[in-house]
């Protein structure tokens, strides 16, 4: 399998999505209908009266779109992007209809696994930004990456 191994990663490396994804009101409502059916993700009028003050995407929709952007970035571990989990995640601003999202990823840490000699873990800070460059989601993820040889 082609791609990068643990030995190819180093703290400070950065990756950006090649493009952006626009989140339309129809997609916000479709995702929410299936996974997060709350009024502020489904209905403009109900959303106006909610804490969001207008239609906003589910945070899990933002997370899912972030993954799409990550898969389409130049970040290519051998064996694929396999997440063990996250250290933290924040949604500092809502995603609004028409927002165009892109990602900026930075490798924070690279280490071999103690229990599994064939693999390691890398820590990546993932920032999802809207078209104004404002962060709408930030997480620190832990990814499983194979070692060479």
**Contact footprint for a second copy (CB under 8 A):** 31, 34-40, 50-52, 58-61, 63-65, 67-68, 71, 79-91, 139, 144
Closest distance to a second copy from the beta carbon of 83 (Å):
5
Radius of gyration of the chain (CA): 17
User: Which is nearer to a second copy, 12 or 88 (by Cβ)?
Assistant: 88
How far is 22 from 76, CA to CA, in rounded Å?
A: 23
Start-end of H helices in the chain: 25-35, 39-42, 44-48, 59-71
133 phi/psi in degrees, rounded to 5 = 85, 10
Tokens describing residue 50: 């909610």
User: Which is nearer to a second copy, 9 or 40 (by Cβ)?
Assistant: 40
* Nearest Cα to Cα of residue 121 among 72, 81, 73, 64: 81
Closest distance to a second copy from the beta carbon of 82 (Å):
6
Closest distance to a second copy from the beta carbon of 72 (Å):
8
Closest distance to a second copy from the beta carbon of 137 (Å):
9
Closest distance to a second copy from the beta carbon of 34 (Å):
7
Tokens describing residue 63: 């997370």
Q: How many CB atoms lie within 10 A of CB 14?
A: 11
User: Which is nearer to a second copy, 12 or 115 (by Cβ)?
Assistant: 115
User: Which is nearer to a second copy, 65 or 110 (by Cβ)?
Assistant: 65
């Amino acid at each position: 399998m082609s791609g990068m191994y643990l030995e190819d990663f180093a703290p400070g490396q950065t990756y950006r999505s090649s493009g952006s994804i626009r989140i339309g009101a129809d997609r916000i409502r479709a995702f929410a209908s299936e996974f997060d059916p709350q009024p502020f993700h489904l209905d403009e009028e109900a959303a106006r009266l909610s804490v969001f003050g207008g239609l906003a995407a589910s945070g899990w929709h933002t997370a899912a779109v972030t993954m799409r952007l990550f898969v389409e970035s130049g970040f290519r571990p051998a064996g694929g992007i396999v997440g063990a989990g996250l250290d933290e995640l924040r949604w500092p601003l809502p995603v609004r209809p028409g927002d165009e999202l892109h990602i900026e990823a930075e490798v924070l840490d690279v280490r071999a696994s103690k229990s599994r000699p064939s693999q390691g873990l890398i820590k990546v800070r993932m920032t999802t930004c809207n078209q104004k460059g404002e962060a709408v989601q930030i997480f620190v993820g832990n990814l499983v990456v194979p070692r060479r040889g």
